[in-house]
A and B are shown apart, each in its own frame.
Chain A
Amino acid sequence: MATRHSRAAARMMMAPAVVLLLGWMLVPLTMTLWFSFRRYLPMRGGDLGWAGFDNYVRFVTSSTFWPSIQATLIIVGGVLVVTVVLGVLLALLLDQPLWGQGIVRILVIAPFFVMPTVSALVWKNMFMDPVNGLFAHLWRFFGAEPVAWMSEASLQSIIMIVSWQWLPFATLILLTAIQSLDREQLEAAEMDGAGPLSRFAHIILPHLSRAVTVVILIQTIFLLSVFAEIFVTTQGSFGTRTLTYLIYQRVLESQNVGLGSAGGVYAIILANIVAIFLMRIVGKNLDA
């Protein structure tokens, strides 16, 4: 429904956004791809020539690779489990009639707006510090030995911090999904004699499955690149060196750009696999 004039105008008006994003995507991507096939050590001689698939092989065979994959999976998986389970429970709770719903919603959502460096530092010091942290006080109050969270339970600590940041997101989306559920369906089920548990299992949960999928996919994409939380807490030590952090260290800390770029290509492929599933769902909704 348009004329040549408006179609021409549309192309013109779309051009800046398309060109910018195309540049933003293609230029660095091409460079990363190029570097990944070079022996490129800026501090030790610069570009030392063609490396073939050496970087790719070395990145995967280095002793740090599998632990980093493991750390990544544990963190992403842990955060997903915590946020989805708690998110469903919280969403169900907030969907009930209660006094001060608006305020509770605000309280629950607030952590999402806290910048990652702040939440990481506040948790690391004020809560998880083994001497003066609030948890240490609490443990001592119950006569237990305070835990040195960041060194002894580093992965759990990071999962906890990141979960706290992402729980609001999961809750909010799941709550939106629950509220879109047809009330009459629930009432019909109740009339048919379904108890609260079977109503949850047979009606609410299936209705939520799509929202849960979306939460999982979107969070996975963001969680795969969790950075600031590790940067200001453990700096990748104590088994918290994720794939993202490993690549960051290779590139900026040890300045082995070729190797880091090969890692970057792996990370991009990984993110794209998740993105494809997400884009399918988004695409379907666009048609509707």
Chain B
Amino acid sequence: MGRIVLEQVTKRFGDVEVIPPLDLTIEDGEFAVFVGPSGCGKSTLLRLIAGLEDVTAGRILIDDADATNMPPARRRLAMVFQSYALYPHMSVRRNIAFPLRMAGMDKAEIERRVQAAAAALNLTDYLDRRPGQLSGGQRQRVAIGRAIVREPTAFLFDEPLSNLDAALRVGMRLEISEMHKRLRTTMIYVTHDQVEAMTMADKIVVLHAGRIEQAGSPLDLYRTPRNRFVAGFIGSPRMNLIEGEEAARHGAHAIGVRPEDITLSREEGGGIWSGVVGVAEHLGSDTFVHVHETGLAETLTVRVSGETPCTHGDRVWLTPREEAIHRFDAAGMRIE
């Protein structure tokens, strides 16, 4: 079990309302990712669920029990911190065993669980080391090990990969995803990286200024962003947003076209828009062409499959896929 329900949860620091009243349900076994720019309140929301901060108003239900005023120790949640927050004076073994010791479990059972967790996380050889003697990735594993031994109701991750280098980040991302598939325990994962959100989540919750802009499956959000903020935040490279006459022609205040929904032609008149190539980024599998001087927006980004011989200064013609155009009204909301 691990169903977490937030009802009208509100957080104020003094006079500043960090999180206006908010409702959210995270189903048992779901992998929910809170994503948003820094300062959007995603970490605060996680800390409210953890019990490390009080809610100003509203209720938090964990498995239908009111946990609003429960101290963190009694919520049966495990948390992996951005800094890992390992106990530097304890060996890896004692770090992982700490929550079990606090729960008063007997020694043999603790040892069995620690061994099992260590084996699953490739930490068996490091059990007697101190956290200071481990690499970043290993510390991360210890933090995860400390979380899983307790068999919690849900896991909370607070930007756990942001201190790792790019290669390790991809590896750990996969490991955490696999862990979720294996354990089927509820996980709430906070990140500012929309790639992490897209690849890991069952449900993405996009937060902006403490408000939920949209919550849903990654592809839902990608295909039908509810508003301009979500449209611009989800997807990489970002969706092209065009205002003005061209938007008005589509009966909208602004239109959005994803880079892969534009075809590019180097032939004179080979498209309805035209511009000059600023930079073409060749990734091998794809090429991202950044086009200026279109008269529509500062830059339009186009994704071309495979290679294209475009270079700086070339004039190109662009055609959007009409059915893939997203339309937004003056308030930034999606027009169906």
Direct chain A–B contact by Cβ atoms under 8 Å: yes
Chain A residues with CB below 8 A from B53, complex form: 1-3
Tell me which residues from 1 to 44 in chain A have a Cβ below 8 Å from any Cβ of chain B. 1-5
Chain B residues with CB below 8 A from A2, complex form: 53
Chain B residues with CB below 8 A from A5, complex form: 71
Bound state CA distance, A2 and B54, in angstroms? 7
Query: Smallest CB–CB gap between A2 and chain B, Å?
Result: 7
Which of B51, B54, B69 counts the most chain A CB atoms within 10 A?
A: B54
Query: Smallest CB–CB gap between A81 and chain B, Å?
Result: 47
Which of A1, A2, A3, A4 counts the most chain B CB atoms within 10 A?
A: A3
Q: Which chain A residue has the least Cβ–Cβ distance from B55? A: A3
Chain B residues with CB below 8 A from A4, complex form: 54, 69
Q: Which chain B residue has the least Cβ–Cβ distance from A2? A: B53
Bound state CA distance, A2 and B48, in angstroms? 10
Residue B52, interface by CB 8 Å: yes
Chain A residues with CB below 8 A from B51, complex form: 3
Q: Which chain B residue has the least Cβ–Cβ distance from A7? A: B54
Q: Which chain B residue has the least Cβ–Cβ distance from A9? A: B71
Bound state CA distance, A5 and B53, in angstroms? 10
Q: Which chain A residue has the least Cβ–Cβ distance from B73? A: A5
Query: Smallest CB–CB gap between A4 and chain B, Å?
Result: 5
Query: Smallest CB–CB gap between B70 and chain A, Å?
Result: 9
Contact with A along B38-54 (1 / 0, CB 8 A): 00000000000001111
Tell me which residues from 120 to 152 in chain B have a Cβ below 8 Å from any Cβ of chain A. none
Query: Smallest CB–CB gap between A120 and chain B, Å?
Result: 44
Contact with A along B49-71 (1 / 0, CB 8 A): 00111100000000000000101
Q: Which residues in A have some Cβ–Cβ distance to B below 8 Å?
A: 1-5
Q: Which residues in B have some Cβ–Cβ distance to A below 8 Å?
A: 51-54, 69, 71
Can you pick out 11 interface pairs between chain A and chain B where the beta carbons lie within 8 Å of each other? A1-B52, A1-B53, A2-B53, A3-B51, A3-B52, A3-B53, A3-B54, A3-B71, A4-B54, A4-B69, A5-B71
Given A1-B52, A3-B53, A4-B69: 8 more A-B contacts, CB < 8 Å: A1-B53, A2-B53, A3-B51, A3-B52, A3-B54, A3-B71, A4-B54, A5-B71
